[in-house]
Every structure is written in C-alpha cells, then in structure tokens.
Structure 1
Amino acid sequence: MTAPGMVARRLAYLEAACRETRGQLVRIERLIQCRAERITVTAKLRARRSRRRGPRGAPADERLLREHVDRLIFERRDEIAALAQKPARQEHGIAAPGDRKQPVVSQFEHRVLLTCTAIAWTKG
C-alpha cells in the first residue's frame, strides 16, 4: 500500500512533466512558425530580385508559408510525434482509475500527426 503523500508527490510530478511537455510542443510550434516566416520572406525577396513573375498577393504568400510549415514539421516529425504522444500518456496516468477517458489533443498536435501521416503515406 502506498502512502497518500507519495501518491500526491507522484501526481504533482506527473502534472509538472505534462505541463513541461506541452510547453515544449508550444515552443516547437512557435519555432517552426517563425522559421517558416523567415524562409518565406527570404524566398519572396530572392524571387523579386530575379524578376521571376509568379502568383502575387496574400493567397500565394499564405500557400508558400503553409508549404514551408509543412516541410519543417515533416523534417522534425519524429521528435514532434514522440512529444505529441507523451502528454496523452501522462494525462492518462494522472487521471483517476475511474475517470480514464480519451485525452484532449491540441490543434497543433493533431495537425502534426495528420501532416506526418499524409506525407509518409504519399512517399511510401
């Protein structure tokens, strides 16, 4: 039988680990978004210098940014997939045995998993 103090410490440890993992996912999302924006701006400047005519305007920029974000997510897919699965396991461990339910997945985690699955499916 475990002491109540040990259970409380273990729960606090699991909750802190879960918060830290979610924080890492948020940082990775921000890093990828900022890097994709820098790559997009650089690509637009290079295209402007070479006088290459292409689609202009916000839709083309958004599409280019989305392509860069998808590529960067794909490059870090193993790290992101491992981190995206950790909070689900941690939340499952935190939940009381009678309360065990499907964990909530953030939009970023969902998009990463879908992107990685779609790219792997098209390449394989």
Structure 2
Amino acid sequence: MESLKNITILRARPGLEEVLGRELERLVQPCRAAIGCLQYRVHKSEDEAGVWCIYETWRSRQDLRDNLRHARMEGYFNVLRHLAEPKFELLTFSEVSTLPAASNVTRPARWRSLPHSTRAQAHRPT
C-alpha cells in the first residue's frame, strides 16, 4: 500500500497571519499521534507574508479520511474559516519514485559554486 502525501497551502486573512500560524501549530501533535500519520509538518512561507503550508504523509487514504472526520478537526475547520482566506489549495500526491539509500547520496553543489549557472552570473559583481 502506497503512502499518501497532502500539501495544503493557506493564506491568512489580513492581520491574522501569526494567529493562523499558532493555530496550525496546535494541530501538529494531535495529528502526528493519529493512527496512520507518518509525518505532519507546518511551514511558513519565506516569500509571502501570511502564507502557510501543511505537509503531511499518511499510511493510506482511509487513515487520512479518518483523521479529517475526527472531532478535533471540526473545531479546527471552524477556526480556519475565521483566520484563513476561504480559497486554499489542497494537493494529494502518491510517490512514483524512490530515493537511493542514504549512503549513496552525495551532497549537491551549491548554486554559487556553479560558474555556468545563470543565477551565479546574475549575482556576480561587475
């Protein structure tokens, strides 16, 4: 059985950016403790104020459904209605590739160390 990844992107209503973040963080421990939760993380955008991302991995679609139907989630959805913009993105993924074993992974070069990179050229002093 393949695990399921969900990515939810939420935008806070103006002035409620940090309140939304605190409420999202309150869900981390209960969701991580839910049956079938393999990973549950909350991220704050570095590029756009008030944008939050929930990244979660579930053992199965049924485990995810069970979590969404749990009583704690009803209160969570009510809070979100007041703190987040009504339009949000929810994307569900299943993995199609696997990573090589950690011992076979080499650290990628940094952008600035690649002289042929357009990014490196764009930041090069003249």
Asked which structure has the greater CA Rg, the reply is 1
TM-score of the superposed pair, with normalisation by structure 1: 0.31
Return the TM-score normalized by structure 2.
Answer: 0.31
Q: Would you tell me which structure has more helix in proportion to its own residues?
A: 1
